[in-house]
Amino acid sequence: MRRALALAASPGVPLHPNPRVGCVLLAPDGTVVGEGYHHGAGTPHAEVEALAVAGDRARGATAVVTLEPCNHTGRTGPCAQALIAAGVGRVVIAQRDPNPQAAGGMETLLAAGIDVDAGLLADEAAEVNRAWTFAHRHGRPFVTWKFATTLDGRSAAADGTSRWVSSPAARRDTHLLRGRCDTMLVGTHTVEVDDPQLTVRGEDDQPVGEQPLRVVMGERDLPAERRILDDAAPTLHLRTRDPVAALRGLYADHGRHHVFLEGGPTLAAAFLRVGLVDEVVAYVAPMLLGAGRSAVGELGIGTIADAFHLELVDATVVGEGPEANVRMTMSPVGSRGARARTSTTEKER
């Protein structure tokens, strides 16, 4: 299974829209007769690729796969049926498929008389597709809130200037994080004031790779000349102030799994207040302003006992010398943490 997990996490495989999956086929004597992994949407699934390598040697083999073989026909046929047709004798699954449209492969295999075991290294398999798994389990995208702040918690100076709180090295690092998401989200105020382009850009400041969907949340019309409306990436305007409705629509109507929240303090506070932030990435600059805009807006907290607590996952120095920032990655904990909340989707399952 660890080999299958390594295949699933092969470099260069897109993180979305499909899950990353690895498969290893073992002959009855334990020798590997086929391997495969999913290379991205529209390409053969891991099981199909491994079966093609194995050929006739797949008959009676054990298929070790990181995700339950799919049970539906999309751009490719159902993998459960492909395994049955190849004469595989046993299937070992790490993670059951949380996507209701594709789930059911395990039952199909069992009905065909194939031995099936599930749950081996399931947590590790889920982590390979962290945002995808979360989105299908919760019925909404995983939300990463990213912001830059001074050491005293300011995102802008008293006169409103905010370029640049973060260093060039931190901004380059941010583009790497943007590239791991399928959605960029800001509010109308950020578009009006900062005019961000919200693309993934390289060293020459030009867009690189597949671009996330740019989403603006808010009821006001957008100024026509803003960069977010250019043709560098698709843009969607959600005319709502409700984070719950926004995320529900992004998942159900647009198939989005990972939102990168880069809006201002007001939008961030709106998501935090309703427990819809799953990860926080803060770039802390070694500077002091003493006054100015706070990094986050009103959270309805009046006493230290009600503070919003975060668990530190990682702290990394980004850059060197004067341009060094500290990137802190954190997860919400306690009753305010979105991960502690059980969604209706989960309860129904």
Structure-token match 């399931």, residue found: 122
State yes or no: is 320 an active-site residue: no
CB atoms within 10 A of CB 158: 11
Q: What are the residue ranges of helices labelled H in 42-187?
A: 46-54, 79-86, 105-111, 122-128, 130-138, 168-178
**Spatial distance between the Cα atoms of 144 and 170, rounded to a whole number of angstroms:** 16
Q: Which two tokens stand for residue 280?
A: 């926080």
Which is the catalytic residue, given 35, 47, 68, 262? Answer: 47
**Spatial distance between the Cα atoms of 68 and 129, rounded to a whole number of angstroms:** 13
Contacts of 44 (CB under 8 A, 6+ apart): 36, 38, 52, 76
> Is 312 in contact with 339 (CB distance < 8 Å)?
no
Distances in whole angstroms, Cα of residue 25 to Cα of each of 52, 58, 87, 90, 157: 11, 7, 12, 10, 59
> What single-letter amino acid sits at 143?
V
Contacts of 65 (CB under 8 A, 6+ apart): 4, 21, 22, 23, 24, 46, 47, 91, 92, 93, 94
Per DSSP, 87 falls in state: T
Q: Which two tokens stand for residue 16?
A: 């979305």
Point out the residues that are catalytic: 47
